[in-house]
Structure 1
């Protein structure tokens, strides 16, 4: 699997700036690698796979290209201090997150986690980025139907499921994932939090809103060169204001 060289010192600095989860132990658990690997990455720029780099970037809340020296194509590498300062300056700024944007969806064959996330989501969306034939269309339609029926918006709250039903569901979801992958159709998804009610304009300060989860999925082509993720269009429900790190810290200090 293809590996890339991370900017360890930048990763370490960004991790230390997090409000929560700033310890190496917390980060290692979240991105599913050992604490020893985290130390090697931060202190020695130990090579990582592209999926590992993407999990680190998602954890830190930055684009993956900012924490690696090169991924798919060569790029100019600024001195570490300049790179770090430029990125940190951007993170300290207050930002408006648009309603519609792109995120990263990740390939999965873990039917248990997929079912769990569907059961804890309001709804599910599907993006098709690969041609489907009659056979794969049937597999895809059944898989999406099974997952959609588990979401809050579609669930039959009066029906009772038995352990045998749950085992059969997991077995069938697993079979469909295998059948699709065997036909070069990968299932990617991300568990996304949405701000509701839906609107196109930035809400006024103090307007009520609620947060609900959504499974944003993609039927896409097989990953290349070790890639296990794909772009997915996401709908955040409404634009929202995100305070930069500096503003958050000021608010914390004022509340002390």
Structure 2
């Protein structure tokens, strides 16, 4: 079936985001050549693809606003979803987007060792959440995309719930999942389920969900990799003492609180 093939292809793209790069860097050869050029890890082909693929998916989602094959595809996926799950309703997706973050702090609480301490991890979460929220809110304003279930609501693209879910799943992967792949699989499974529920609830198009997943992933990866360099620029050990926490207020207002310990 043509429609089924389109749906399967785009769902595979979403699931592809849920596969973290767990390949370990290869060990240096024993007889290294002095003066040989050093290949920066962020310039390797896998690293470039990890950035390029999500960016392309966000661009494709934005392009689906116009009448083209992407717009037709998301309409077809929505029709099939409503046909197969006409009575699906849940508020579980409001909570699952935070599950990977809660799991990370739970692992801290039981004393599990990860890549960084709780303070740097919290700072990375606060900064990446601020970056993701800024990108999502501005894209919602610029794209002015109609939600599938409410004709008067033009804040569909991209999905903020899915962005949050993939952001927290990526941080869980980076903090604890490198040596424990099952944690990464669990985190990204919950994130993927969150995106699926946003579609089953008829709150988002498939392109909204894919773009949200891409933004959350990129925001977390960007901050996680830049944070050590930024922390080294701070005087003394201030980088280890800073704690940036997101704040929420009624009406959807998002802010941040900077704490020095």
TM-score, normalised on structure 1?
0.22
TM-score, normalised on structure 2?
0.22
